[in-house]
Amino acid sequence: MISRKDVENLEERHILHSLAIAKFIDFKNQTKILDIGTGGGFPGLPLAILFPSCKFFLVDSIAKKINVVNKIILELGLKNVEAINARAESLNFQVDFIVSRAVAPLTDLYRWGHKLILKDKYNNKPNGFILLKGGNLIEEKNAFKEMLRKPLKLQEIHLDDYFREEFFYTKKIIYFPIS
């Protein structure tokens, strides 16, 4: 479920990029993670393989994408993943963390998901959003701060601290705890 033009970059730009989240946090067993706008299963599927004792919910509003993700889940025999064809704002269950990969601005992701995040802290980091983003985020962060009308507790982690490949020079994890 990636562009044919990008198949040669699958490992670096999709799988490794998704697994960057595991460099930031080591999810404890039974942690519940929601992947908003999973598309072809990124970052949810690589994380589900790495963390088999966690529960992953991969959500996308496009049925065709979820159908492919379901086929991958069956083929890999993953028991800790549920693919859901829905819009994030229509969900009615709660999770510990929301992950996403360049799906929407911070303001939208927050509006869609902040009520879905449990307040209890179970992992070594407070529950919240762990988002894979790229490029200059100044305007996006300013809009987010304006929307919240309170100081940001947002943490920006540069992925070139973890990886040496050129692709990661502009890539970041944006972590925003809900507390």
Predicted confidence (pLDDT) per residue in 135-160, tens digit: 889 999 999 999 988 877 899 999 88
Q: Does 6 score more than 50 pLDDT?
A: no
Q: Using CA atoms, how far apart are residues 140 and 147, in angstroms rounded to an integer? A: 11
Each residue's pLDDT tens digit, 18-42? 889 999 999 999 999 999 999 989 9
Lowest mean pLDDT among 74-88, 93-107, 159-173: 159-173
Residue type for position 101: R
Confidence check: pLDDT of 102 > 80: no
More confident residue, 115 or 10: 115
Mean pLDDT, rounded, for 64-78: 96
* DSSP per position, 17-69: HHHHHHHH--PPTT-EEEEET-TTTTTHHHHHHH-TTSEEEEEES-HHHHHHH
> Taking all residues of the chain, what is their mean pLDDT, rounded to a whole number?
89
pLDDT for residue 9: 47
% of the chain beyond a pLDDT of 90: 72
Compute the average pLDDT of residues 8-13: 51
Q: What is the pTM of this model?
A: 0.91
Is domain 4-177 in CATH 3.40.50.150, yes or no?
yes
Instruction: Classify 93 as helix, strand or coil.
Output: coil
Q: Give residue 166's pLDDT.
A: 80
Give pLDDT, residue 11.
55
Cα–Cα distance between 43 and 151 in angstroms, integer? 28
Cβ atoms of 25 and 130 within 8 Å: the answer is yes
Please report, for the chain, the start and end positions of each structural domain, with discontinuous segments joined by +.
Answer: 4-177
Residue 14 pLDDT class (50, 70, 90 cuts): low
User: What is the rounded distance in angstroms from the CA atom of residue 174 to the CA atom of residue 171?
Assistant: 10
Inter-residue contact 144 to 154 (CB < 8 Å) = yes
